Amino acid sequence: MSLSFTAGQYVGDDLWVPVLDGAPRQYVDLDTAATSSASVAVARAVRDFLPWYASVHRGAGIRSQLTSARYEDAREVMVRFVGGNPATHMALFPRNTTEALNLLAFRLGLTKDDVVVTTAAEHHANLLPWRRHAQLRVVDVDERGTFDVAAVEAALDQQPRPRVLAVTGGSNVTGWLPDLRAIAAAARQRGVLVVVDGAQLVPHRPVDITALGIDVIAFSGHKMYAPFGAGALVVPRSLLASGEPFLVGGGAVGAVSFDDVIWADGPDRDDAGSPNVLGVVALTASADELRSDGWASVLAHEEHLLRALDSELASVPGLHRLGPVAGDRLPVAAFNLDGVPHGLLAARLANEYAIGTRSGCFCAHPYMGRLLGLSDAEVGQFHADVRAGRRQRLPGAVRVSANRQTYLTDIPMLGQALREIAATPEGSARYVLDERGDFVPRTGALVPVSAR
Ligand SMILES: Cc1ncc(COP(=O)(O)O)c(C=O)c1O
């Protein structure tokens, strides 16, 4: 098999792309909170496994036996990866964090009489599934976009008593890391189930759910160097021991007749259909790599990135950060630049400097509303504009995000680009706003030759 990977540690970390002026530039990926590159070790693990890939739990042949064993072993690997005990916890492999939290919210058998405490800092994935099944009680954030443990305690103590606390492990907008240990302790003291959205936390920090007192954690492979379509939900076995599964079909059953079904036990009940074995191989390879390379080097690298980001962004005239700019955070920053709409700023970074960022509200509209200080009337206008298909002037910001794959030299390049953009507002005239609300170069979108 001839799949070759680049000399670097991450697939695609040496791409050169066209820019509006001058020669192609090496692409700088500062959008890793959305999706990270595949690590070379992960891609190799998938490639090496491919010849053995076959059906899971459905074949007597050796390939099927090996595939089934690899898949089942992965459950233990992932439980241990987040500090759980395979005797009490199991790992399920939904597509991503969103699917994991939808599955969980359904499986808990919540009703509209149940209360789920969550926070204003959440990604939509940790708001909407709960809102579909239960009442939300939202812990609000202050102007910096943070909340303290006392605010969580106050929400937990209100009547009716909540059943679940659903909280982010780390914000995808500001990189803020809530004090999970204290928050989880407060919930557990009150007998409330602690569910953590680990989409941003797990790729950046060693997580020990036992030490932290977390019951359930969900995360996505594509944000942790394993973009092959699998995520994980690590959950107490007892929590899902009974009840109808979220997805029904083959594999989730012990027996079926025309009018009866006996659901399977354990993880099988929540694993209807053919699973994504290659995604799971990727996920475990990533977990192994993160663990074996040692978290200390990840933490040290990301700390350097964060400090560099803070200092570069502080040096840009007219740049306004959203969220906290001190304390322990992920290398993530959201900001606006005076006089440059967020979509235009992201477009200029991409088209003139080959720097990939993201702009908008980052699937965290309520949080962004707070961070931008939007009034109720402004939120109402936002919704009215979206309903009417007017996407040209929606509120938002630019987000840059970095991780283990980010070169330290990328951050000064970002700072330099932002300072140049701040100094050349006339450069905006080179872009038009299309009907979808995207700024594009008047000369047309730039597409690398190899991607055409
Ligand atoms: C904090 C957080 N939670 C949940 C999600 C949803 O992840 P996915 O799109 O992989 O389901 C994201 C994705 O950006 C996220 O950042």
The DSSP-derived string for 40-79 is HHHHHHHHHHGGG---SSS--SHHHHHHHHHHHHHHHHHH
Cα 270–76–284 angle (5° rounding)? 95
Residue that terminates a domain, selected from 290, 308, 343: 290
> Regarding predicted confidence, which is higher, 451 or 54?
54
Which pLDDT band, with edges at 50, 70 and 90, does 129 fall under? very high
Which pLDDT band, with edges at 50, 70 and 90, does 2 fall under? very low
pLDDT at 6 over 60: no
Say whether 255 sits in a helix, a strand or coil. Answer: strand
> Could you tell me if 132 and 181 lie in one domain?
yes
pLDDT at 128 over 50: yes
Distances (CA, A) of 388 to 381, 392, 437: 10, 11, 13
Which pLDDT band, with edges at 50, 70 and 90, does 5 fall under? very low
Taking the centre of ligand 1 as the mean of its atom positions, its distance from the CA of residue 33, in whole angstroms, is 9
- The ligand 1 atom nearest the CA atom of 98: 11
Taking the centre of ligand 1 as the mean of its atom positions, its distance from the CA of residue 217, in whole angstroms, is 13
> Could you tell me if 118 and 196 lie in one domain?
yes
Mean pLDDT of 154-161: 98
Closest residue (by CA) to atom 14 of ligand 1? 34
Domain region containing 53: 44-290
Tokens coding 12: 């695609």
> Could you tell me if 223 and 176 lie in one domain?
yes
β-strands 332-337, 397-401: how paired?
Answer: antiparallel
What is the per-residue pLDDT across 133-155, written as a single tens digit (0 to 9) for each? 999 999 999 999 999 999 999 99
Write down the pLDDT at residue 450: 67
CB 186 within 8 A of CB 155: no
Domain assignment present for residue 447? The answer is yes
Which pLDDT band, with edges at 50, 70 and 90, does 223 fall under? very high
CB 20 within 8 A of CB 443: yes
Domain assignment present for residue 1? The answer is no
Residue that terminates a domain, selected from 290, 311, 336: 290
- The ligand 1 atom nearest the CA atom of 171: 1
Write down the pLDDT at residue 306: 98
Domain assignment present for residue 310? The answer is yes
> Could you tell me if 202 and 329 lie in one domain?
no
pTM, whole model, 2 decimals? 0.96
Compute the distance between CA of residue 56 and CA of residue 93 in angstroms, rounded to an integer: 13
Residue that terminates a domain, selected from 235, 263, 290: 290
Residue from 104, 168, 200, 219 whose mutation best tests the ligand 1 pocket (most atoms within 8 A of CB): 200
- The ligand 1 atom nearest the CA atom of 362: 14
> Could you tell me if 347 and 279 lie in one domain?
no
> Could you tell me if 328 and 446 lie in one domain?
yes
Domain assignment present for residue 273? The answer is yes
Domain assignment present for residue 406? The answer is yes
Closest residue (by CA) to atom 16 of ligand 1? 172
Write down the pLDDT at residue 447: 74
pLDDT at 221 over 60: yes
Which pLDDT band, with edges at 50, 70 and 90, does 60 fall under? confident
Which candidate, 253, 225, 231, places its Cα nearest to that of 91?
Answer: 231
What is the per-residue pLDDT across 178-187, written as a single tens digit (0 to 9) for each? 999 999 999 9
Taking the centre of ligand 1 as the mean of its atom positions, its distance from the CA of residue 128, in whole angstroms, is 12
Mean pLDDT of 350-363: 98
Compute the distance between CA of residue 331 and CA of residue 437 in angstroms, rounded to an integer: 28
Residue from 223, 330, 332 whose mutation best tests the ligand 1 pocket (most atoms within 8 A of CB): 223
CATH number of domain containing 136: 3.40.640.10
> Could you tell me if 239 and 98 lie in one domain?
yes
* Total number of domains constituting the chain: 2
Closest residue (by CA) to atom 13 of ligand 1? 34
CB 61 within 8 A of CB 445: no
Which candidate, 78, 296, 126, places its Cα nearest to that of 205?
Answer: 296
> Could you tell me if 349 and 417 lie in one domain?
yes
Mean pLDDT of 65-78: 96
Which pLDDT band, with edges at 50, 70 and 90, does 436 fall under? confident
Mean pLDDT of 376-403: 94
Which pLDDT band, with edges at 50, 70 and 90, does 449 fall under? low
Distances (CA, A) of 102 to 7, 98, 156: 39, 6, 22
The amino acid at 340: V
Say whether 361 is catalytic: no
Which pLDDT band, with edges at 50, 70 and 90, does 126 fall under? very high
> Could you tell me if 27 and 148 lie in one domain?
no
Place of tokens 């070759």: 4
Write down the pLDDT at residue 7: 47
Which pLDDT band, with edges at 50, 70 and 90, does 451 fall under? low
Closest residue (by CA) to atom 7 of ligand 1? 97
Helix (H) or strand (E) holding 411: helix 410-423
CATH number of domain containing 429: 3.90.1150.10
Write down the pLDDT at residue 204: 97
> Could you tell me if 117 and 90 lie in one domain?
yes
> Could you tell me if 99 and 181 lie in one domain?
yes
Domain assignment present for residue 4? The answer is no
Write down the pLDDT at residue 21: 87
> Could you tell me if 300 and 272 lie in one domain?
no
Domain assignment present for residue 11? The answer is no
Distances (CA, A) of 251 to 198, 241, 299: 27, 16, 40
From 151, 363, 433, 446, active-site residue: 363
Task: Give the mean pLDDT of the chain.
Answer: 95
Domain assignment present for residue 344? The answer is yes
Taking the centre of ligand 1 as the mean of its atom positions, its distance from the CA of residue 427, in whole angstroms, is 33
pLDDT at 3 over 80: no
Distances (CA, A) of 148 to 109, 131, 144, 153, 244: 29, 23, 12, 9, 37
In this structure, the residues whose C-beta lies within 6 A of any atom of ligand 1 are 34, 96-98, 123, 125-126, 168, 172, 197, 199-200, 220, 363
